[in-house]
Structure 1
Amino acid sequence: MRASGTFKVVAFTPTELSPDPAVATGLPVGVSTMEKRYEGAVEGRSATLFTAAFDQSSGVGTYVAMESFEGTVDGRTGAFNFAHSATTGGADRGEEFFTIVPTSGTGELAGIRGSGGMAIDADGTHRIWFEYELG
């Protein structure tokens, strides 16, 4: 099954957490927390742990995120975790990874598994979709 929606980041909070021991690289690693709100066939909210090595001036870098989502997917209520990452060269997005964490589902979303993806439209609209199975 496929469910899609749009989302907005409602909070992005950098933390003081950093790799230990410190290792000097060409891009520093940062850790932040995020909160997102979703609308559409995917409706609800998520809490995210977001890690990135990213150059703000050039837009080049990679992120890795773990999200805990609660809400509805195609009208089914529950919660689950999903992980995703991508790399950007400044104007592009590639090397994407997206997976629903097995056995993380609750409620009517218990047993959810699958993959998905994210995209940002030219107008700035953020989109998400899940290709999933239940059971």
Structure 2
Amino acid sequence: MTTAQGTFDITRWDDQTYLDAEGVKLGAIDVGKAFVGGLSGTSTARLLTAGGPVPTSAAYVAIERFVGSLDGLDGSFVLQHHAVMAGESSEMSVRIVPDSGTGKLTGITGTLRIDIAEDGTHSYRLDYEV
């Protein structure tokens, strides 16, 4: 496995609530990101979110398409996200969708880790093989 690391900025965040009933909210969010570091490029994602009356409990699933370069290899690939937060604990899984790579990234596989610092900086670590 090869590792690429860097940061990303959120360039777009358009959200809408499509259900708000009995303390439960379901939403859809369109997100744009700009990546620097091992990944250099942009992505577009659609998140589906769920939250209840406890503000520290929520979940989301998402599909995200990255376009740009990875360690100098030009192309694109798709990521699948799923996450659950419950109080102080959380689980997040982000993996490259099999056979979604294009260009020099055809055949890419791997997983992505996202960290958010206290100052709001988003960093990533992509472990991958092409």
1:34 aligns with 31
1:112 aligns with 108
Query: How far, CA to CA, are the matches of 1:93 and 1:117 in structure 2?
Result: 16
Q: Percent identity?
A: 34
TM-score scaled to structure 1, two decimals? 0.84
- Tell me the alpha carbon deviations over residues 73-100 of structure 1, each in whole angstroms, 9 at most, x when there is no partner: 111110010011222235x452211110
Q: Which of 101, 121, 125 is the equivalent residue of 1:125?
A: 121
Contact 1:49–1:65 under 8 Å retained in 2? yes
Q: Give runs of ≥4 in structure 1 deviating > 6 Å.
A: none
More strand by share: 2
The 1:5–1:56 alpha-carbon spacing in structure 2 relative to 1, beyond 3 Å, is farther
Q: What are structure 1's unaligned runs of at least 5 residues?
A: none
TM-score scaled to structure 2, two decimals? 0.87
- SS of 1:99's partner is strand
The count of corresponding residues between Structure 1 and Structure 2 is 129
- Tell me the alpha carbon deviations over residues 26-45 of structure 1, each in whole angstroms, 9 at most, x when there is no partner: 52211111111111111110
Q: What are structure 2's unaligned runs of at least 5 residues?
A: none
State the superposition RMSD in angstroms. Answer: 2.3
Query: How far, CA to CA, are the matches of 1:33 and 1:123 in structure 2?
Result: 23
The 1:8–1:93 alpha-carbon spacing in structure 2 relative to 1, beyond 3 Å, is farther
